[in-house]
Chains A and B, each alone.
Chain A
């Protein structure tokens, strides 16, 4: 077991170094003088320029600069934002829970709807319901989600007035941030009105961000179920007279779940990055929106640090899924 985990962790290290290298190179590819790019100033005097260059270590060999960068990153130093002059890491950490909350809710939504839909579609293969689910899932998969979000806002927020248009919480409420998860923080504070407000704010972004994973989960569940339902042991279970619900729920589903769980896990990582569009539409104060704002403000250190941090969290989530998967499924653990 320990060996399995260690192998998985060691496989992640080169990927992490590669991403670090990518972000290290990234800031050098920005057109313009590196000092001006990094300080956000123009027309610096030559003497000052040389001084700054030395201060930032830009006069040293490239590989030394890279090692410095890796060293800083490993110490949690991701640089300072040009605009706010705060540490990029602390800005990221204050915003990250909002993104994580949204991504987890979206995944929950996708699973709760997609799994039953996929199972039913497989069981009733060829029926109207099956065609409906497959059509809907292909449409969901092809959906430009930024447009989908606008449509939902237009219909539910503007038209029916059911849900708020943007943000995480109505301005009349204030909840001391603790975990950063609005749903948990409002409950902890015992403010149920605020909790309802937070929940209302979450509904539309969750649906929008969850649409593509929902489509993927439904399709994956259906095809995995279809495969399992054709196996001999299912026929055996049916032949010995088990109730249909028991055969599907106990015998088929448990085996069909293996690939589905993997897909769900890997989607969490994708969602962390995919939240860029959803957060922009709903003014959701998470890392995706922050990243786009950093780009628009030409805050390159924030962009550099932010990308590295998001990428690292995606890698870590995928690693976690991988290890959990090995814990749950002995076949994987012993195969490698």
Chain B
């Protein structure tokens, strides 16, 4: 108490008090993020799955497509009849489950990455244009987005996949189309919040062109909600692509996509539950990890929720 008064009383002596500079935004972000155990766990799991996906070719014990005809429907190693050469068992035509799951991780991560990149790029562009130029462009774009949003997302994805024909690439396109409105709306809202602030007006007065204003001045200040949405977008993409695979509209057998694996071994549900259990667990764990991470990022990036 008294020390405080004394410093205020003698402002003339500029003692080098440790007036800490505000922490770097990244440091501050990490400080908040670190406190969220769930988000950290999600990050670790995602890193692990990403490593498995990258090194699937090295660490997978078997080729995912080789059919071991003498080992059809081998149970996992801890069950009677299990074998160490097929730790998680084999499927109905004798392929090693663990190897297929590892290659499936590769597909799922790729699906997430491509869908998020594609939808983010398009949604960002549309949102920027709508928020920045307003008027007719805004009305047209946002009305179109509203129409897409009025349809339940899986229904829309199913329809797009049905039109384009089944397949992994088309499924990715279908899922991308479905999530574009989310990015467009977020970007537009963020742009509208920023566009009349002084620094934007200042650079406009200084002669910055619309492209520079949009991409270099305004956009970097809009990324926080987009990062959160993109993380959550991974989980939606993986879940929806798996659902399309399950319905027969996504990746086709023998592709080791998790949803497709589930669908193609349905009739063995009773005899060999593990062929259905593992892909489901893989989907659940991956999606859960991305949702945990997304929630953690939201809490750490959203100043309104900061304590």
Q: Which residues of A contact B (CB under 8 A)?
A: 14-15, 18-19, 22, 26, 29-31, 138-139, 141-144, 146-148, 150-151, 153-154, 158, 269-270, 272-274, 276-277, 280, 291-292, 295-296, 303, 307, 310-311, 314-315, 318
The distance in angstroms between the C-alpha atoms of A90 and B83, with both chains bound, is 55
The distance in angstroms between the C-alpha atoms of A311 and B270, with both chains bound, is 37
The distance in angstroms between the C-alpha atoms of A200 and B283, with both chains bound, is 29
Residue of B nearest to A23 (CB): B159
- 22 A-B contacts (beta carbon < 8 Å): A18-B150, A26-B163, A29-B163, A138-B38, A138-B288, A138-B291, A139-B284, A142-B284, A142-B287, A142-B291, A144-B239, A146-B262, A147-B262, A147-B280, A150-B280, A272-B152, A273-B151, A274-B155, A291-B158, A296-B248, A307-B151, A314-B151
In the complex where A18-B147, A274-B154 touch, is A303 in contact with B162 (Cβ < 8 A)?
yes
B166 CB to nearest chain A CB (Å): 9
B292 CB to nearest chain A CB (Å): 7
Q: Is the interface of A mostly helix, strand, loop or mixed?
A: helix
Known A142-B288, A147-B280, A295-B162; 7 more pairs at CB < 8 Å = A18-B144, A142-B235, A142-B291, A148-B280, A269-B152, A270-B153, A291-B158
- Are B273 and A144 in contact (CB-based, < 8 A)? no
- Are B284 and A311 in contact (CB-based, < 8 A)? no
- Are A26 and B152 in contact (CB-based, < 8 A)? no
What are the residues of chain B within 8 A of A307 when measuring CB–CB? 151, 155, 159
The reply on B276 being an interface residue by CB < 8 A is yes
- Are A18 and B159 in contact (CB-based, < 8 A)? no
A72 CB to nearest chain B CB (Å): 20
The reply on B257 being an interface residue by CB < 8 A is no
Bitwise interface map of B from 259 to 279 toward A, beta carbon under 8 Å scored 1, else 0? 100100010011001001101
- Are B150 and A19 in contact (CB-based, < 8 A)? yes
The distance in angstroms between the C-alpha atoms of A143 and B284, with both chains bound, is 6
- Are A144 and B152 in contact (CB-based, < 8 A)? no
What are the residues of chain B within 8 A of A291 when measuring CB–CB? 155, 158
**Best-surrounded residue of B164, B243, B269 (most CB of chain A within 10 A):** B243
- Are A276 and B158 in contact (CB-based, < 8 A)? yes
Residue of B nearest to A295 (CB): B162
The distance in angstroms between the C-alpha atoms of A268 and B19, with both chains bound, is 55
The distance in angstroms between the C-alpha atoms of A29 and B270, with both chains bound, is 41
- Are B162 and A154 in contact (CB-based, < 8 A)? no
What are the residues of chain A within 8 A of B204 when measuring CB–CB? none
Residue of B nearest to A30 (CB): B163
- Are A276 and B155 in contact (CB-based, < 8 A)? yes
A295 CB to nearest chain B CB (Å): 4
- Are B147 and A277 in contact (CB-based, < 8 A)? no
The distance in angstroms between the C-alpha atoms of A269 and B146, with both chains bound, is 15
In the complex where A139-B288, A153-B269, A303-B159 touch, is A144 in contact with B283 (Cβ < 8 A)?
yes
Bitwise interface map of B from 217 to 256 toward A, beta carbon under 8 Å scored 1, else 0? 0000000000000000001000100110011110000000
What are the residues of chain B within 8 A of A19 when measuring CB–CB? 147, 150-151
What are the residues of chain A within 8 A of B266 when measuring CB–CB? 150
Residue of B nearest to A20 (CB): B147
Bitwise interface map of B from 40 to 73 toward A, beta carbon under 8 Å scored 1, else 0? 0000000000000000000000000000000000
The distance in angstroms between the C-alpha atoms of A14 and B162, with both chains bound, is 25
- Are A144 and B270 in contact (CB-based, < 8 A)? no
The reply on B165 being an interface residue by CB < 8 A is yes
Within 8 A of A (CB), among B155-201: 155, 158-159, 162-165
What are the residues of chain A within 8 A of B159 when measuring CB–CB? 26, 303, 307
B234 CB to nearest chain A CB (Å): 11
What are the residues of chain A within 8 A of B242 when measuring CB–CB? 144
Residue of A nearest to B149 (CB): A15
In the complex where A15-B147, A18-B143 touch, is A147 in contact with B279 (Cβ < 8 A)?
yes
- Are B247 and A280 in contact (CB-based, < 8 A)? yes
The distance in angstroms between the C-alpha atoms of A307 and B152, with both chains bound, is 10
The distance in angstroms between the C-alpha atoms of A270 and B277, with both chains bound, is 27
A44 CB to nearest chain B CB (Å): 22
The reply on B299 being an interface residue by CB < 8 A is no
In the complex where A146-B246, A151-B280, A295-B249 touch, is A273 in contact with B154 (Cβ < 8 A)?
yes
The reply on B295 being an interface residue by CB < 8 A is yes
Neighbour of A314 across the interface among B144, B152, B158, B248, CB < 8 A = B152
